[in-house]
Every structure is written in C-alpha cells, then in structure tokens.
Amino acid sequence: MSDNPLVADRPILICYDGSPSAKHAIAVAGSLLTERRAVVLDVGPLDLVAETYAAAGSGAASIGQAVYAGALAQAEAGAELAREAGFDAEPRGGIDAPTWRGIIEVANDIDAAVIVLGSEGRTGLNELVEGSVSHDVAEHARRPVLVVPPPPGSTHA
Amino acid sequence: MSDTPILICYDGSDAADSAIVAAAALFPSRRAIVLDVGPVLTDTESIAAFSPVIAGQAFEDENLDEARRNAQVGAERARQAGLDAEARAGVAAPTWEAIVDTANDVDAAVIVLGSRGLDGFRELFEGSVSHAVVEHSTRPVLIVRGTTARGARG
C-alpha cells in the first residue's frame, strides 16, 4: 500500500545543495507538484569525516558534527525556498558517501512519492569522483525521480 | 502554467506502464500526450535491409504503424489512470532526439519516461534514453522504474 503513488499525503524529497541548479529545481517542483509536504535534504560528504578520522582519529566526531550541521543549515535554507514555492517543507541533514546512497536512504525512510533534484549539483571534487548525482539516483532509486535541468540561458559552471 | 501538457513516452514496457501510473498520481490535472517513437529500423530489420527484396521504406511504414498502435494503448492506459490523454507516434533515430523535439513542439511541462535501469537490452545498443533526454532537454524529466523492482525498496 505504501508504494502506491496515488497516496497524496506522501511527501516529496527535494535534494538541495545550494547550487543554482538546486534552487531552480525547487521553483520548478513548486510549479509542477502542489499541495504536498516536502522534505528538503542536503547530504554532506562522509569522505571528509573519514579522511579526518584517518589523519587524526579522535577529531572525526567533531568534524562529523560540523559536516552534519553544515548540511542541516543548507537544508534549512532550501526548506525556506520550498516554503516560498508553496510547499509545507521541513529540512533534513545527512552525511553519506556516495551522495546518491544518502539520498535514497532518506527517500526510503520517508517513503517519498518522488525524489526531486537538479541535473547539475554542487560541482568540484565530489562530482568528479562520483559522477553525476542525478544520474546515479535515477539509476538506483526504485521510485520516481524528477530531474530538473538548469534554467535556459544559464551558463555551466 | 498548468495548461501545458505532460509528455509521456510509452514503449509498452513495464517501466512505461509504471510511468503512466506515477504521472497520473503526481500531475493529476494536466493534459497528457502519450508518445511512442518507433525505430527507423529494428535490430533484425537492419540486417534484413541489406537484402534487396524489401525496401527500407516498407519497414519504416510498419514501424510507424506499430508505434501508432502502441501510443494508442498508452493513451488508453493514461485515460484509465485519470489523465486527459491523446496519442502521438513517430519513427526516428536516435529516440531521445524525437522525444526532445516533440516536447518542444507541445511545450511540455515535464517529460515522463520509464527506465529499465541498468538491465535493458535495447539500452545496450542505444545507450540510456532517459540519460540522453536529461542531457539534451531543457525541460524537467520524470524517470520511473519498472514494476520488476517494486518489491524491493530503493
């Protein structure tokens, strides 16, 4: 029963990393998917925590807390944008690697009706190592995934 | 905004059926155009086409007929799911290009695609249609996996 996307009270999961692509994805989701609850998620990099642990051992816990706090703050900013777009939105932070796994775990946890993400996430080392997060989520998620391209006319980073 | 239609790509697969159900649930108040893009030649035909007996055009006509029938089936399923749906068909290669062009033509609010994930046989030849559409379209794309994975969570 819980797999039925017809159940309209299931929330949508919006992935938010603060990139222009993610901001645009929230606006587009607001125009397409109305009257749903939204959980806005940022997944912080677990590799940073792991590297710190390898380097310093005891410092990992505090780095982990800092990465989680950063992800939650980012998610809160995204939730505010989602409220402006018309969603009843709540923030959620996470730490995982690869990023797509963290996204799918939260999607399962809240039984998301759909996962929304921008096609161009936060660029940099993560994207180079992991490839496109949107491709990976679409490949591994067993629920609908809405991939939102950047707005027309935007330049690639 | 909500008068722009959704474009549902329908190839008769399990994933395409799941895509219709998901689209009807997520975008209930929109018109839907159900599209099947047939291949210019099928894999078997591309070998047969070297034979001088049957012209390539005959294959293309047959493929278009099949795409039309398929799109009608998809449109009917979409109506059963509650969408105001019409069928549309074509033959083209590559498939993604015809999907992107049609989406522009109808000014689709979103493109809906079933995806077989990593195990599609046709995807071995064509590459992933859903990935290609995401790369080349400026419109949102809803990717829906088939029912084969429904029991598992993910």
Residue with tokens 């491709």: A135
The reply to whether A60 falls in a domain is: yes
Number of domains in chain A: 1
Q: Which domain holds residue B144?
A: 6-149
Handedness of CA A44, A47, A51, A57 (dihedral sign): positive
Chain A residues within an 8 Å CB radius of B7: none
Mean pLDDT (whole number) for A77-96:
96
Chain B residue nearest residue A154, CA to CA? B138
The reply to whether A155 falls in a domain is: no
The CB-side HSE value for A147 (13 A sphere, CA atoms) comes to: 28
List, for residues A19-43, the tens digit of each pLDDT value.
999 999 999 999 999 778 999 999 9
Q: Output phi, psi for A96, to 5 deg.
A: -165, 165
Two structure tokens written together for B66: 């099949």
Chain B residues within an 8 Å CB radius of A4: 25
Q: What is the DSSP letter of B122?
A: H
Closest CA to A149 of B1, B141, B59, B118: B141
The reply to whether A48 falls in a domain is: yes
**pLDDT at position A152:** 73
B111 part of contact set with chain A, CB < 8 Å: no
Per the CB < 8 A criterion, the answer to whether A144 and A5 are in contact is yes
Residue with tokens 């590297």: A51
Q: Is residue A156 predicted with pLDDT exceeding 80? A: no
CA dist., res. B57 & res. B73, Å (int): 24
A114 part of contact set with chain B, CB < 8 Å: yes
CA dist., res. A143 & res. A5, Å (int): 9
The reply to whether B18 falls in a domain is: yes
Q: What ipTM describes this predicted complex?
A: 0.87
B14 part of contact set with chain A, CB < 8 Å: no
Per the CB < 8 A criterion, the answer to whether A11 and A110 are in contact is yes
**pLDDT at position B120:** 53
The reply to whether B1 falls in a domain is: no
Mean pLDDT (whole number) for A145-155:
82
For residues A135 and A125, which has the higher predicted lDDT (pLDDT)?
A: A135
Query: What are the helix (H) ranges across B27-94?
Result: 43-48, 56-80
Q: Where residue B112 falls among pLDDT bands split at 50, 70, 90?
A: very high
**pLDDT at position A36:** 87
Asked if B152's CB is within 8 angstroms of A28's CB, the reply is no
Q: What's A106's domain CATH number?
A: 3.40.50.620
Per the CB < 8 A criterion, the answer to whether B84 and B26 are in contact is no
Q: Which domain holds residue A139?
A: 12-148
The reply to whether A1 falls in a domain is: no
List, for residues B47-82, the tens digit of each pLDDT value.
555 555 556 677 778 889 999 999 999 999 999 999
Q: Where residue B124 falls among pLDDT bands split at 50, 70, 90?
A: low
Chain B residues within an 8 Å CB radius of A142: 145, 149-150, 152-154
B81 part of contact set with chain A, CB < 8 Å: no
Q: Is residue B123 predicted with pLDDT exceeding 80? A: no
Mean pLDDT (whole number) for A76-90:
97
Number of domains in chain B: 1
For A132, A136, B133, the CA distances from A128, given in Å and listed in that order, are 8, 13, 22
Chain A residues within an 8 Å CB radius of B143: 138, 144-147
